[in-house]
Amino acid sequence: MKNNKDIHFEVSERKILLRIFDVMSVFVSLYLVEDIFNFNYLNISTTNFYWIIVLAVYILIIGSVFEMYNLQVASNQYQIIKSIILTSSTTVLVYLLTPIYTPFLPSKRLEILIFFFSVFGALFIWRMIYVRFFASNRFVKKVILVCDQDQAKELVEGLTSVDPHYRVLGFVNSDSASSNSEKLKIKSISIENLAKFVRQNSISEIVVASQKTDGITVNLYNQLITLLEKGYIIREYTQVYEAITHRIPVQYVSRDFYRYFPFSRSNQNHLYLLVVRILEIMISIIGLSVGILLLPLILIGNFFGNRGKLFYTQERVGKNGEVFNIMKFRTMVKNAEKDGAVFATSNDTRITPFGKILRKSRIDEFPQFINILKGDMAVIGPRPERPIFVKEIAEVMPFYETRHVIKPGLTGWAQVNYSYGETIEDSLIKLQYDLYYIKHRSLFLDFNIIFKTLSTILFYRGQ
């Protein structure tokens, strides 16, 4: 076994550590404050121990909504301060106003301030320590790729763009026929020097991404086996890509459907589908109720800002390829597609000023709760696309029709992780997210999407 190996935490482990230390730091802070300032708001005993459990749950749920566990946000000092302020304020407010499962409101206003600054101070100090001493060093993973030279740049960018702590230090060229003229930012490693490079640079794992079986020569294979025997981790690229990006790398697996079927058992789990359907009906009723309350403002805004019919319908492709009419509030000028159907863009000139407000806040989507009640759509799933675009994209993109094995959704894994799809290339990336959701569909992932959707709405990021 090797001795020169750095400790590294995976993405999921980092998120778990953040959650554990968030809760622990708040509890320690409250304990110290109670002892120093005689703060008795949280007087924990065997009869009311659940007070602290409820506080922990609130911190974790509200922290998820305000992106406390987004690793990119957690590593950025200014973004995480904003998230800490929002999380602390909302947690304290909700906790103070929750009946039965939390203490009675403090009798003194000073106690409310002490409670808030105890929560805020704990999160702030711990997260600043994380940013300063952990985020930039401890979580760095050093990696070597085994791949064809002409793929190296694209493969590296696909991994490092998502996880800033994932460092590809070099690659072994598995295509002997390729030239070495192309200049790359990462080091090219010869097969003979592979073991030495791994030892000297404390490499965490070797990722094999070669699509040509003849590229893995006997010499290279023996080198990899030797490293494996010494305790180094060797993984296949598509597995690493999926784990880091939470996308299915369809561009690297051609038409190997056997890699991904069957998808998540939840797609045929009747109990799961029943629970989801009940939740969808409840969410739709709540959503429509909120929409009705906002309707007078929307009517006024539409009359002066859009100058067209309040609602519009459009054909979209649903489950099993069946076409249905989706409902939305108008956000574009009249006759927006007089020259034919085109992708909407992030700065589309056809969108009215009032329409931008509706899109940013996602209010324009509220009528789709009617589609959900009718059964045409789900709350969570791939966003339904127009038939003309489905035909166009499916002709050039393997796996695209796979999106239609489940109902399309009001929100989805692609929507909360990627910006507006303006091109075929954007559609490919969103397809990768959609297939990941179909493959890993579960209540946990559904709630994760709901939290991310709330973050999108609260931070006004709708498009």
> Among residues of the chain, what percentage have pLDDT more than 70?
85
Tokens of 207: 């990722």
- The gap between the terminal CA atoms of the chain, to the nearest Å, is 52
Least confident of 345-359, 382-396, 444-458: 345-359
pLDDT tens-digit series, residues 118-177: 999 999 999 999 888 776 666 678 899 998 888 888 888 888 777 767 888 999 988 765
CA gap 382, 405 in Å, rounded: 10
Structure pTM?
0.77
Torsion of CA 438, 262, 245, 236, to 10 degrees: -170
Return mean pLDDT, the chain.
83
CA gap 399, 438 in Å, rounded: 12
Mean pLDDT of 177-181: 53
- pLDDT tier at 79, thresholds 50, 70, 90: confident
Tokens of 280: 């969808």
Q: Which residue in 159, 200, 137 sits closest to 9, CA to CA?
A: 137
- pLDDT tier at 1, thresholds 50, 70, 90: very low
> Which superfamily is assigned to 141-245 in CATH?
NAD(P)-binding Rossmann-like Domain (3.40.50.720)
Mean pLDDT of 25-39: 84
Q: What is the DSSP string of 397-414?
A: -TTGGGGGGS--EEE-HH
Q: What is the CA radius of gyration of the chain?
A: 26
Give the single-character DSSP code of 98: -
Q: Which residue in 130, 169, 128, 126 sits closest to 146, CA to CA?
A: 169
In sequence order, what are the residues at sequence separation of 6 or more whose Cβ sits closer than 8 angstroms to the Cβ of residue 335? none
**Residues of each domain in the chain carrying CATH 3.40.50.720:** 141-245
CA gap 297, 395 in Å, rounded: 43
Q: Are 131 and 75 in contact (CB under 8 A)?
A: yes
pLDDT the model gives residue 177: 58
Is the peptide bond between 367 and the residue preceding it cis, with omega within 30 degrees of 0? no
- pLDDT tier at 378, thresholds 50, 70, 90: very high
Tokens of 52: 């602290």
More confident residue, 310 or 424: 310
Residue 277 has φ and ψ, to the nearest 5°, of -65, -40
Task: Tell me the β-bridge partners of 317.
Answer: 323
pLDDT tens-digit series, residues 259-300: 555 567 778 888 999 999 999 999 999 999 999 999 999 999
Residue 302 has φ and ψ, to the nearest 5°, of -70, -40
pLDDT the model gives residue 10: 67
Cα 14–chain centre separation = 15
